[in-house]
Amino acid sequence: MEDAEAPMTRPSIEAADRLIGVKHPVLTHGYVVLVDYMGGDAAIVQAARVSYGAGTKTVRDDRGLIRYLMRHRHTTPFEMVELKLLVRLPIYVARQFVRHRTANLNEYSARYSVVPDEFDLPPPADVRRQSTRNRQGRGEPLPDDVTERFRSDVSRISADAYRAYSTALEAGVARETARLVLPLAYYTEWYWKTDLHNLFHFLSLRLDPHAQEEIRRYAVVMAEIAKAIAPVATEAFEEFQLGGLSLSRRELKAVRALLGGATAEAACDLAGLPLKREDGRRMSTGEGVEFLEKLERLRAAD
């Protein structure tokens, strides 16, 4: 146990202190700001050693201990680090943030305040066809005329909606009611506070290529902020979670078949990872397809 009489001070991390109050732009009018933080790599180590006891201090260095914790999914010490962010984001992105019920947030209230006339307008490269593989995602580019017509519609509809909103306010309609005419492209903002363990979970999902591109851009900025606060922990997260692969029991069976000389398709068949439909057509999604994608990742790994 540490000396209870020893004076306690708030640890300061120079790289993180430099980020406090700095706006990191995202999308058309959005940003992420680090408001405050508590703890860093040292807090993770301190929490872990309270559990293990002082006698373990010479067993492994701090970096080794943090990597051990991440590797073996001992998550509690990572909860000792907290981040408070100010995030400005379109409403359609905000609805994805709140799917993660592991943060404390306080949102700008359109009942008390007038919503600023700021809406998100995606660049042409972001307006694409519906993906044929990912039911939630985008795929191939669209013809230029389709893209520009959509962007023009977003601008026109947003401008018309804000004009109706302003007219309603001027006529005396309550703010909480007048806001109903505003589309999802308009911006909101909130304070968003979470611990490092739950932030890593958020990043593991929102940095994934299957996540919507707009929220991925917020996740990239948040990952950089986490790296300034806890660089060793973030490095371990990137290596063992973002850069790692998990294998199911069937996938392990397929790997054993591959090591025994089977082809990838034979290994999938042996392990019960289907690659074809009942009518014989090749599947574009499913466990077998995902396993082959994992094999491709292994082949492409540095």
**Which of 67, 206, 249, 282 is the catalytic position?**
206
Per the annotation, the verdict on 88 as an active-site residue is no
**Long-range pairs, 42-46, Cβ under 8 A, ≥24:** 42/11, 43/11, 43/77, 43/80, 43/81, 44/69, 44/77, 44/78, 44/80, 44/81, 44/196, 44/230, 44/233, 45/77, 46/80
CATH number of the structural domain 14-112+186-242: 3.30.1360.170
Query: Could you tell me which of 6, 214, 222 has the C-alpha nearest to residue 96?
Result: 214
Q: Where are the domains of the chain?
A: 14-112+186-242, 124-181, 249-300
Among 6-10, 54-58, 222-226, 292-296, the minimum mean pLDDT is found in: 54-58
Predicted local confidence at residue 58, as pLDDT: 43
Greater pLDDT, 82 or 133: 82
What amino acid is encoded at 70 in this protein? M
Asked whether residue 2 carries a pLDDT value surpassing 60, the answer given is no
The closest alpha carbon to 292, from 262, 253, 251, belongs to 251
* pLDDT of 25 above 90: yes
Percent of the chain predicted with pLDDT > 90: 81
- Tens digits of residue pLDDT in 264-292: 999 999 999 999 998 989 998 899 999 99
